[in-house]
Amino acid sequence: KNEVEQSPQNLTAQEGEFITINCSYSVGISALHWLQQHPGGGIVSLFMLSSGKKKHGRLIATINIQEKHSSLHITASHPRDSAVYICAVTSKTTGSARQLTFGSGTQLTVLP
Amino acid sequence: DGGITQSPKYLFRKEGQNVTLSCEQNLNHDAMYWYRQDPGQGLRLIYYSQIVNDFQKGDIAEGYSVSREKKESFPLTVTSAQKNPTAFYLCASSMVGPDTQYFGPGTRLTVL
């Protein structure tokens, strides 16, 4: 079993829909990251969080430490949101080394 | 502008040849990382370095080598010992300690 599991693997939505991507992890963590990978391959960090909730524009990330679960929400989705969304965790066991363990990603396609 | 660059974007190599991928950052980050991405899989850590002249193996270091002679540079050599080197390679950097990782645009290596 992977340490970081994402669901769904693929998601197709109509423009304007509310989107949720889920991430579950099995290890103690010091932080959880949400990343966005564009079709060209470049990766952008969206959020780093260790508790609660963060919001940036139409993107909202939440984390429940007790349940070892995080969600990424996109409100009023747009075709330009189409990308692969990746969840990654920094395990407490790695100490000071900032190693990330990655989920396999969620391919999101937003249709106009 | 501050950022992290990788070159080349596309690289082709014949079997049995070593090849070096470049990674440079001007973000004044102490830590640098190399990841490999294969279709349908999460990113996997090859090597990381937290300080100049020091580096550590990641999960899949066999067949790869690195050096960290300067803070700004962390080149990765894919040696002929790497059995399946065709993949997308991403370099990242961060401050040491809990922090966001910043990714380069990636190099797509194809072995002919």
pLDDT in tens, A17-62: 999 999 999 988 889 999 999 988 889 999 999 999 999 999 999 9
pLDDT of A106: 96
CA angle A4, A9, A13 (to 5 degrees): 135
**Which residue of chain B is at minimal alpha-carbon distance from A5?**
B42
Query: The tokens of A28 are what?
Result: 């103690």
pLDDT digits (tens, 9 = 90+) for B40-55: 888 999 999 999 999 9
Assess whether pLDDT exceeds 80 at residue A1.
no
Nearest to B101 among A97, A98, A105 (CB): A98
Query: The tokens of A9 are what?
Result: 């693997």
Written as one string, the DSSP assignment of B12-53 is: EE-TT--EEEEEEE-S--SEEEEEEE-TTS--EEEEEEEETT
**Which residue of chain B is at minimal alpha-carbon distance from A3?**
B42
What phi, psi does A94 have (nearest 5°)? Answer: -85, 0
Determine the 3-state secondary structure of B97 from DSSP: coil
Q: Do B101 and A99 touch (CB under 8 A)?
A: no
pLDDT of A29: 87
pLDDT of B76: 97
Q: How many CA atoms lie within 13 A of B56 on its CB side?
A: 14
pLDDT of A61: 98
Asked if B87 and B22 touch (Cβ cutoff 8 Å), the reply is no
pLDDT digits (tens, 9 = 90+) for A62-92: 999 999 999 999 999 999 999 999 999 987 6
pLDDT digits (tens, 9 = 90+) for B66-112: 999 999 999 999 998 888 999 999 999 998 766 788 999 999 999 98
pLDDT of A97: 53
Using CA atoms, how far residue A79 sits from A38, A96, A109, B87, in Å, is 12, 39, 7, 27
pLDDT of B62: 95
Q: Which residues pair with A25 in a beta bridge?
A: A4
pLDDT bracket for residue A98 (50, 70, 90): low
Q: Which residues pair with B82 in a beta bridge?
A: none
pLDDT of B112: 86
